[in-house]
Chain A
Amino acid sequence: MRRPRGRTVLVLLTVATLLGACSGAASQAPAGGGQITLHALFMKQAAYSDADVKAMTDAFTAANPNITVVPEYVGYDALHDKIVTDQVGGSGLYDIVLMDTPWPAEFVKAGIVTDITDKIPADFKNGVFPSAWTAATYNGRYYGVPWINDTKFFFYNKQMFAQAGITSAPKTWDDVVADAKAIKAKGIVQYPIVASWKQVEAVICDWTQLAAVFGGANFIDAQGNATFNTGGGLDALKFMKQLLDDGLVNPASLGFIEDDVNSTMAAGQAAMALNWTYGYAVMNDPKQSKVAGQIAVVASPGEGSVATSGVNGGMSLAVTKSSKHPDEALKYALWIASEKSQEMDTSLAFPMWKASFDNPEVTKANPDFFAAAKVQFANLVARPVVPYYTKLSNALQVAIQLALQGKETPEQALNDVAAKLPDLQK
């Protein structure tokens, strides 16, 4: 027997459930009691480890008990896209995001980051290395608190060098080639050099650093024309290709990021490499390295009149436009970027404070490395800070890979990107 009344009730129930679901979503109350939660997005690849961030954060929350910080970590190559999808996609979860050197222009234009020019304390403006500000400024305005001051240093295996009869660290890239050939000839390792030349940002960093040595620090001139396809940029790419052709660079480098460089060096399968500061600690860590204690570090080699060069690997902490607590977020950024926080652990990242380099209490951890860093930090070159940087970088990554894979000549590959530049700038 049918029960129409029951059917009506069912329909009403369905509608009620639906309405309930809708109103439930809308009526989520904000956290009460003055307790504030900040979401911060960091990377897990180089520089400060998650343990470092935790130590800095714990100190901050101990001093500010009404603020809870939830840090989150992603690999570098996911960082940019995660920030964009979070902010542009509308979820706007993060209050603080880590911003790389070439990104401020993009993020400012896209309305992702907040202008904090008037809120930067004077001691930051005076005390922090000028190079560290590249990752925080655009058009003379400030959008981030500098946090990481990094560049690629030259690491080499002292024992392998000694076995090959080499007595001093290379000062030029010519020396590097000669040393690599000697090590290969002795059969100490099959491929003396390992590099992070995967089709990601890492290869752009190495190429930029080499281009500066060969006399081409700029990618783009003031009129927006390509300069990377001539001079230093072109010579650097030819040099990289030659290293591969001579069997001096491990061909697997074309698929490697920085962590792979560390593990290849740590396995004793390479004698030299360029890498960020953290490489030193990782390659010399007995827990993860077969060659702990054998890895030495010097400033990156130069060539001709250029003594050394370094790609600017600085990163800053930016307060997002979506943040509901921008003041607290900035307070947190300033705290973990303070001289005190930065000097807590200098094994994975150098402080960006000039004073730290003259403080023997800080430099005693590794005087040689601090000395190398002081020289190299004075010679940093930046990747272009332009709103279309990611598109340009992607196109250059492909071009460099095409040349290194031998599919196109270095000239051809870079000229193709130069020809496409007006389209990328649109």
Chain B
Amino acid sequence: MSQGIRTRTPVIGQTRVRKPWPESWVAAAFIAPAALVILLVVVVPLARAAWMSLFDISLVRPGDEPFVGLGNYIEQLTSADFWAATWRALWFTVVSTALELGLGLALALLMDQPLRFRWLLRTLVILPWALPTIVNALMWRWIDNAEYGALNALLTQVGILHSYQVWLSNSDLAMWMVILADVWKMTPLVAILLLAGLQSVSPELVEAAKVDGASTIQAFRHVLLPLIMPVILIVLVLRTMEAFKVFDIVWIMTGGGPANATQTIAIYAYQTAYQGYDFGRGAALGYLIALVIMVLAAIYLRLLGRLGRA
């Protein structure tokens, strides 16, 4: 490829200018700093974690780190705690991503309409996403507070509840409350991405469908939706991968409790490595999480590829 743009050694007058470096060398030199940084902060730790995952490393037994091969992986894959945490993470992922996509699409369609205060709506919608996760999580912890939270006050004042409800300390409700907080925070991002997709669709296409007798719903279902499907899939890939490894919002709101009801796989890994000092098991867990995410991403990418061919 670089062949085409490579220049001949120019001759000016009688003096030969020194031969330039091949393009690929120059490119390598420019890439080198970034590549070196990535090597040091990504590849080296990843390799080290992979190596660690093959040993039984516990910080309370310094010097005694036997090689266990795939023992850490087998132990996790046969552990009920691991699978419980994995299912919780999947549950969180499926429910929150589905809600975010549904609500995000509705919001995007609304913002795509020629409304009078569309600019204001777009600004307001992005606010929850602009808040740092820690602020968002702390805010929801207060809203959900059983004694003086806004949620209880609101629901009792409008008559939905008769007495204050315990939200985050109830093991049946806690996960829903965390999902609610996540949906509140991430729906705006989904909406903005989908809005960008919607705006790339030429309005004539929808109008043409309507002229041909399609109803609004039919036009959406058969014209608009297929056209923005690639964007939807990209949003799905991003959100699924993010949601499956959720940590911060859960950790701040519930710490994985009550009774482990919100202990997702990332929290389980953190507790294993940093609270239990089991770095070998922790490293193995990290790789298992990455594996699940890669499988999910591969499925989506296949779908995307098929869509591209269709």
Contact = CB atoms under 8 A, between A and B. Distances in A.
Is the A/B pair a real complex? yes
Interface stretch (A126-134, A307-315, A387-395): A387-395
B4 interface: no
Given A251-B146, A255-B169, A407-B259, A18 B33 contact: yes
A199 B256 contact: yes
Residue of B30, B254, B258, B276 contacting most chain A CB atoms (<10 Å): B258
B259 A2 contact: no
Contacts of B170: 251, 254, 405
A254 B275 contact: no
B275 A405 contact: no
A200 B255 contact: yes
A251 B169 contact: yes
A360 interface: no
B275 A402 contact: no
Interface stretch (B17-25, B88-96, B197-205): B17-25
Contacts of A81: 274-275
A8 interface: yes
Contacts of A53: none
Given A4-B18, A7-B20, A255-B146, A405 B7 contact: no
Interface stretch (A94-102, A104-112, A325-333): A104-112
B36 A18 contact: yes
B257 A251 contact: no
Nearest to A269: B147
A7 B26 contact: yes
Interface string A244-273: 000000111111100010011001010000
B193 interface: no
Interface in A211-225: none
Interface residues of A, number: 48
Given A11-B26, A18-B36, A397 B10 contact: no
A78 to B, nearest CB: 10
B7 A252 contact: no
A388 B33 contact: no
Given A267-B148, A269-B147, A109 B29 contact: no
A200 B256 CA distance: 10
A265 B36 CA distance: 57
B76 interface: no
Residue of B32, B168, B271, B276 contacting most chain A CB atoms (<10 Å): B276
Contacts of B271: 394
Given A2-B20, A390-B276, A407 B171 contact: yes
A15 interface: yes
Contacts, number: 124
Given A4-B17, A198-B257, A388-B60, A85 B29 contact: no
Contacts of A51: none
Given A4-B20, A80-B275, A398 B260 contact: yes
A412 to B, nearest CB: 13
Contact of B171 (A1, A106, A252, A401): A401
A405 B60 contact: no
A84 B277 contact: yes
Contact of A254 (B18, B30, B258, B277): B258
A264 B164 CA distance: 14
Residue of B61, B62, B147, B271 contacting most chain A CB atoms (<10 Å): B147
B87 to A, nearest CB: 16
A163 interface: no
Contacts of A407: 171, 259
Interface in A255-296: 255-256, 260, 263-264, 267, 269
B275 A394 contact: yes
16 contacts: A2-B7, A4-B21, A14-B32, A17-B33, A84-B277, A88-B59, A111-B59, A198-B255, A199-B259, A250-B146, A252-B164, A253-B169, A254-B258, A256-B169, A401-B258, A402-B259
Interface of B: 7, 10, 17-21, 26, 29-30, 32-33, 36, 58-62, 145-148, 164, 166, 168-171, 254-260, 271, 274-277
In the A-B complex, list the 6 residue pairs whose CB atoms are closest, starting with the nearest: A199-B257, A255-B169, A252-B146, A401-B259, A4-B20, A254-B169
Interface of A: 1-2, 4-5, 7-8, 11, 14-15, 17-18, 77, 80-81, 84-85, 88, 106, 109-111, 198-200, 250-256, 260, 263-264, 267, 269, 387-388, 390-391, 394, 397-398, 401-402, 405, 407, 426
